[in-house]
Amino acid sequence: MRLARSPERRGRSRFARFRRRRGPAGLAAAAALGLGLTLLARPISEGLEALSGRLPIPVPEAAAMRLERRADAPVRLALLPPAAPPQPLAAPAPIALPPRIIAAQAGDTAASLLARAGVGGDEAQAAIRQLGAVWDPKTLQTGQRAAIFLQGDRLMSLRFALAPGREVVVARDDKGGFVAEQQDRPTHAVPLVGSGTIASSLSQAAADAEIPAGIVGEVIAAFSYDVDFQREIHPDDRFTVLYQRIDDEFGEPAGFGHALYAELVLSGKALALYRFAPADGDPGFFTADGTSVKKALLRTPIDGARITSGFGMRLHPILGYSRMHRGVDFGAPSGTRVYAAGDGTITEIGRAGGYGNYIEITHNKQYATAYAHLSGFARGLHEGSHVHQGDVIGYVGMTGLATGPHLHYEVHFKGEQINPLSVKMAATARLEGNDLAAFRAARAAADREIAEWRRAGRIARVE
């Protein structure tokens, strides 16, 4: 009679038989069997947990298998319910491409510009209709740029640059339609320096140095209070201008800001001006000690002109005899802008005999100025109109007794005509207190920028 053996005894008997095998192979087999029995005595989940440290993802507890064993029961394998089947992945969203920058060409419309970007049909027309609520697309100019955002082949937004710091935007709303508005445009200022040597005129030399015309006009206006551009500018004089270029968020030039610093070296003497905005005043130019360059009257109310006739006795070119010339003539092409020499009120405007088209401005109880031979007047001006210094009031012409296009300019002091080039006006203001402290900080920043450009050898040093 053979007695039934427990599973433990059967296991020991098998182990003993492996031990009785001769040689290293038998010993290795016996060791493997012993190790296997030891592992089976542990829950399988413990082995999975240990293994999960080597896996790229953790093993879910719900998927673990365990061997459950009681002292009075045989070992049995239990499987937990399988995990739910994996869900299908959602389709990826269309990729939003970087904006496409397109410049308007001659004859372009908003529709043709969108068509070049691959947007047309009802989608383009819907965007343009909304755009028209805040900006007239018919005013699109050659060279004006648009940023077009697409998602796949779907138009998401369209942006037109209107001016540095300003743009018009049409974009999708949460219902899939389009909305439009004007808004601030992300920009930043980039400092640039232009410098050179004058051969004939500051305007031409600055243009040769690729300084924008608007910046040049700003500089000439600032120095016009103290510099006679006809008599004090000589060949080999030098200039330096620190100014701003305005770039958009894509690093593309969007326009130009202002001149921050301007320097003229005339016959070896350096004159430097700094732009600054007082807390309670308009921006202007100041000397290094904080004195405003602005005077009550400009010395020359016209840009880039040459003096063709001074104040005093002369032979009149039409009448043929000598008589007093009670002003200064500035030769310039017809249509050149003429500026108000100072703040004041127009007391006469219209035709005035030999003066042709004529404007007279009263500035205060002592001073008035007059402008003659104009081809026309600035729109909207009439007797009683108030003008500010630098406002365009008319355009050079040759009406009245004139042999060629020029501006005849007069200064009246207490009702008498005086030589405009001899007028010396005091500065209108000097900075104080917090404004002076802020100006000094701005002046130091400009000086550092100029010094850096000089160290780099990009502009000449002033001896």
Find how far residue 331's CA is from the centre of its chain.
Answer: 37
Q: How far apart are CA 407 and CA 416, in angstroms?
A: 19
My answer on whether 315 and 414 are in the same domain is yes
My answer on whether 193 and 152 are in the same domain is no
My answer on whether 150 and 226 are in the same domain is no
Residue 57 in domain:
no
Q: Tell me the average pLDDT of the chain.
A: 78
Task: Check which CATH number belongs to the domain holding 458 and give it.
Answer: 3.10.450.350
Residue 338 in domain:
yes
The answer to whether the pTM exceeds 0.75 is no
Residue 10 in domain:
no
Give me the domain span that covers residue 209.
Answer: 187-294+427-463
Residue 115, phi then psi, degrees to nearest 5: -60, -35
My answer on whether 404 and 367 are in the same domain is yes
My answer on whether 358 and 393 are in the same domain is yes
My answer on whether 178 and 192 are in the same domain is no
Q: How far apart are CA 168 and CA 158, in angstroms?
A: 8
| Length, in residues, of the chain | 463
Task: Check which CATH number belongs to the domain holding 410 and give it.
Answer: 2.70.70.10
Residue 110 in domain:
yes
- Report the percent of the chain where pLDDT is more than 90: 37
My answer on whether 212 and 290 are in the same domain is yes
Q: Are strands 406-413 and 312-315 parallel, antiparallel or unpaired?
A: unpaired
My answer on whether 389 and 400 are in the same domain is yes
My answer on whether 395 and 411 are in the same domain is yes
Residue 161 in domain:
yes
Q: Total domain count for the chain? A: 3
My answer on whether 152 and 224 are in the same domain is no
Q: How far apart are CA 262 and CA 257, in angstroms?
A: 14
My answer on whether 411 and 322 are in the same domain is yes
My answer on whether 271 and 320 are in the same domain is no
Three-class secondary structure of residue 419 per DSSP: coil
Q: Are strands 337-339 and 416-418 parallel, antiparallel or unpaired?
A: unpaired
Residue 71 in domain:
no
Q: Are the C-beta atoms of 170 and 179 separated by less than 8 Å? A: yes
Beta bridge partners of 368: 362, 412
Q: List per-residue pLDDT tens for the chain, 463 residues long.
A: 444 444 444 444 544 444 444 444 444 444 444 444 343 444 434 443 433 344 344 444 444 444 444 445 554 544 555 555 666 555 555 555 577 888 889 889 999 989 988 887 888 999 999 988 899 988 888 888 888 998 888 899 998 888 767 889 999 988 889 999 988 877 889 999 999 999 988 888 999 999 998 899 899 889 988 887 777 889 999 999 999 998 877 677 878 999 999 999 999 999 999 999 998 878 999 999 999 998 778 878 887 667 777 777 655 565 554 567 778 898 889 999 999 998 999 999 999 888 899 999 999 888 999 999 999 999 999 999 999 988 999 999 999 888 889 999 999 998 888 888 777 776 667 899 999 999 999 999 999 999 998 888 766 444 4
